[in-house]
Amino acid sequence: MKGHPLLEARELTVRFGGLTAVDAVSAAFGAAELVGIIGPNGAGKTTFFNALSGINAPTQGELYAGGQRLTGAAPHRFAEHGVARSFQTPRVFHGLSVAANVGFGLQFAGRRRREVPTWLRDEAAILALIGLGGQQDRPAGDLTPSQQRLLEIGMALATRPRVLLLDEVAAGLSELELRQMGQLISRLRAELDLTVIWIEHAVSTLLHHVERVLVLHQGRKIADGTPAEVARNAEVVEAYLGDEMVETA
């Protein structure tokens, strides 16, 4: 990790009734890190993201963003401290134009415009960055599912985050789109100096791009290391990923 954490969970636990979805997970994310989170369905990945962005309040544990304690705070407080996210199913305003969707994000920015590059301060610049230049006047509902995923990333970028949480943005993409999405994520981290935390089922694609991987299994963190370390971790391979992890190693 580079420098002090921009986002940190300390012994984070989330329970729903008798179900423990996230079990005492601690993780810290520094400036300009590109971190992947993997695990099978039901491992607690999205619930962990929901807690990191204020959607689910933790049952136990602490959350910090930008050094400020935000445990139990509402999502807009996390946004104010530079945390933005996407969802498994893209949440765009179908009846609004592509540009208006990004404009909505600009209105709820976490950072002041002067704190971000000049070329990331308006709709056209953001759409060009994510590969939707020339689409600004189309209704968002007319975009393909993969384009809607890109638009949702653009809406998140419009809030000018320091930390970007991406929840399965590669789901349903073709092989070409998978490669392009991985390249875009790497570029966003590099060009915007963003911390990116990326949940993905396309394990080989994720491991190719990230520098560090957290592995969740049954709500617990069972590994945290480089892709090579995680791919060779006996507990990870035995637990659920098997041949896919071996082939990636």
Walk me through the domains of the chain, giving residue ranges and CATH numbers. Answer: 1-82+165-249 (3.40.50.300), 91-161 (no CATH)
Q: Which is nearest to 216 in space by CA: 91, 76, 52, 79?
A: 52
Longest dimension (CA), the chain: 51
Distance CA 109, CA 38 (A): 29
- Beta-strand pair 34-38/212-217: parallel
Q: Is the pLDDT of residue 42 over 70?
A: yes
Confidence (pLDDT) at 3: 63
Distance CA 2, CA 96 (A): 39
pLDDT, greater one: 239 or 68: 68
Average pLDDT of the chain is 89
Whole-structure pTM value: 0.91
Phi-psi region of 165 (alpha: psi -120 to 50; beta: other; left: phi over 0): beta
Which residues 6+ apart lie within 8 Å of 20 measured at CB?
13, 14, 219
Neighbour count for residue 95 (Cβ, 10 Å): 9
Confidence (pLDDT) at 246: 46
Neighbour count for residue 137 (Cβ, 10 Å): 9
* pLDDT grade for 5, boundaries at 50, 70 and 90: very high
Distance CA 169, CA 198 (A): 8
Confidence (pLDDT) at 13: 98
Q: Is the pLDDT of residue 69 over 70?
A: yes
Instruction: Give per-residue pLDDT as tens, 80-126.
Output: 899 999 988 889 999 999 999 999 888 876 555 556 666 567 899 99
* pLDDT grade for 247, boundaries at 50, 70 and 90: very low
